[in-house]
Structure 1
Amino acid sequence: MDWKLEGSAWGTESHVLPGQEGIHEDAGEEGVSESFQLLQIDVECESPVRGALPTGAASWCSKNVQRKQKHWEKIIASKRSKRKQERERRKAGRAADTGICPQHSKRFLRALTRERLLEARHSGPRLCIDLSMTNHMSKKELSRLAGQIRRLYGSNKKADKPFWICLSGFTTDSPLYEECVRMNDGFSSYVLDTTEEDCFTLFPLETLVYLTPDSEHALEDVDLNKVYVLGGLVDESVQKKVTFRKAQEHAVQTARLPIQEYMVRRQNGRNYHSEILTINQVFDILSTYFETHNWPEALKKGVCSRKGYALPNPGA
């Protein structure tokens, strides 16, 4: 700034035309003032180029950039809103399933579920899934069985009166274990027992009740002193009486669900009727009956219409 002042103010003296000396001398301080004003104007004109952008830097963006920025902000806000709504929906759903007030945290609900499952080890009914027949199953059948185990465990978590579950004949180096880990998120944290032992050596034989559709005896009640065994078998070739023969070999009591006693056959296009259910469907029936002591309501929970059976009164 000082350098410009010298060049502007003092440089004007060396270029005064002849006959104008008086004019320059009369100008005096007024001429210097005018020079300062010119310098001030010059500096103000150059500042936007040489200095930093003004505080309202957004005004320097083009309209196209501003439009894209606003559009992106709308997308972000929309995603945040959807995520919040989804969290609220899940929170309300968990509260409805467990009967807990929605203000409880996920950690609290998980701890409560775990505590309820652990209590079933001492006071609840016991269910054993016999997995000793999986050696000859295909990978597709093993995958289906792993999915059934996941659904069974999920139903047990939601139950007000859960069963204590044991997976017998289950080894960590088996293809079924690999499928369970692959398909079931958090399988290693499931609150249940796993053992390589066979169910017939694990429990006293007089306490076992092997549930099989080929049994002659209908299950009447759920006894806390019994261990109910489900055959973990997914057989697409539909070999008959596999679980029934296995129970007979060990002289174990058998029972079937009372489908014939409480349900009737319905005509369908394929004329198909079957009492063979998946292990998670059988468990849903047992769990519902243990809570309600109502066989029609329990059977309606697990026996789908595709099996060709229905309750005598559809509204029941």
Structure 2
Amino acid sequence: MDWKLEGSAWKTESHVPLGQEGLLEDAGEDGVSESFQLLQIDVECESRESGSLPTGSATWCSKNVQRKQKHWEKIVAAKKSKRKQEKERRKANRAENPVLGICPQHSKRFLKALTRERLLEAKHTGPRLCIDLSMTDHMSKKELSRLAGQIRRLYGSNKKADKPFWICLAGFSRDSPLYEECLRMNDGFSSYVLDITEEDCFSLFPLKTLVYLTPDSEHALEDVDVNKIYILGGLVDESIQKKVTFQKAREHSVQTARLPIQEYMIRRQNGRNYHSEILALNQVFDILSTYFETRNWPEALKKGVSSGKGYVLQNSVD
């Protein structure tokens, strides 16, 4: 296209193909549209003649592309089906196991508020559990991580319980490595509905109301009393030293008790000849919580004592 200056205005000269000058002279808008349609027809004709552009999508895509497309469609369909099945399963579980008569159609916000209300009510009417975290100063990073995970699982079990405990984390400083580990590993830890205090558990409550649960005690726990505060030592398997919690309880003249594993379970022969009554925090809590709801020690012990500990119920069949 050539640009020419005539007077003070710019004019353009367009080079129009021969045979189409008349189309552009008198056409106006309709004529321009018709001319472009003719150009498009010319291009399509040339494409068909040259054979450079396939006409069908089937011939355009190679067999390899088609195979990948079908494979991807199968994956998408399988994921949709799996999501649908999972949704139906959760719906069926909510219908079979309603929490205090709650209907499945309630929103998550409503269920969360109701759970919080139940936990707060346990502070005044439910049994109380205190976790002694005053012995974590010399724990390794790995041990702190395991302890933080046990606290998370314990709290999760308590939220689901029909009769929740009120939980207190005693001897727990907010600037301690364990607190930082709990924040890192446990989503929403800062919003947990429980008490956190730096005070020692022996100074928080009257000593006569305390029962320190330790596997070294000579007395088996017979019942869970709402008027008692049960203490669990915040230790993990790797850091446990013999009778640490038992000696600490005796120094403060506090009553001790152990889970009645020996009374309801027997040792099972295994290749390692391994038998242990030392359980994680969340395992001990599962036993206490189940017993408080069912008043059945065999059922409660079955819930918390795994087969790896080398114990089975007396009436169990191999």
TM-score scaled to structure 1, two decimals?
A: 0.77
Task: Give the secondary-structure state (helix, strand or coil) at the position aligned to 1:236.
Answer: helix
Shift of 1:304: 1.4
Distance 1:91 1:196, change over 3 A: farther
SS in 1 for 2:147: helix
Kept in 2, the 8 Å contact 1:137–1:234? The answer is no
**Which is helix-richer, 1 or 2?**
1
By how many angstroms is 1:173 displaced?
Answer: 0.7
Shift of 1:90: 3.8
Unaligned runs of 5+ in 2: 1-19, 27-31, 44-54
| Cα distance in 1, alignment partners of residues 33 and 176 from structure 2 | 87
Question: Deviations 1:262-314 (Å, cap 9, x if unpaired)?
Answer: 11122221222211111111111100100010111111111112222211111
For residues 271-286 of structure 1, what are the structure 2 equivalents within 5 Å? 271-286=273-288
The equivalent position to 1:64 in structure 2, one of 46, 61, 66, is 61
Query: Is the CA contact (8 Å cut-off) linking 1:98 and 1:158 kept in structure 2?
Result: no
Structure 1 equivalent of residue 124 of structure 2? 122
Contact kept, 8 Å, 1:134 with 1:232, in 2: the verdict is yes
Structure 1: unaligned runs, 5 residues or longer = 9-38, 51-58
Mapped to 2, the partners of 1:113 and 1:101 lie a distance apart of 14
Q: What residue is the counterpart of 2:303 in the other structure?
A: 301
Q: Is the 8 A contact 1:92 1:102 kept in 2?
A: no
Instruction: State the SS of the aligned residue for 1:276.
Output: coil
Bigger CA radius of gyration: 1
- Aligned-residue sequence identity (percent) comes to 77
SS at match of 2:112: helix
Structure 1 window deviating more from structure 2 (81-90 vs 305-314): it is: 81-90
Root mean square deviation, CA, Å: 3.2
Find the aligned partners of 1:230 and 1:142 in 2 and give their Cα distance. Answer: 16
Q: Kindly indicate whether the alpha-carbon contact (under 8 Å) linking 2:275 and 2:311 is maintained by their aligned counterparts in 1.
A: yes
Partners in 2 of 1:47 and 1:195 — Cα distance?
Answer: 80
Deviates more, 1:101-110 or 1:160-169: 101-110
* 2:269 partner letter: Q
1:162 and 2:180 are equivalent in the alignment: no
Deviates more, 1:208-217 or 1:87-96: 87-96
Aligned-residue offset at 1:206 = 0.8
The answer for the alignment partner of 1:290 in structure 2 is 292
1:157 CA displacement: 0.9
Using structure 2 for the length normalisation, give the TM-score. 0.77
Q: Kindly provide the CA deviation profile for residues 157-215 of structure 1, in whole angstroms up to 9, marking residues without a partner as x.
A: 11110101110011111111111111111111111111111100111111100000111
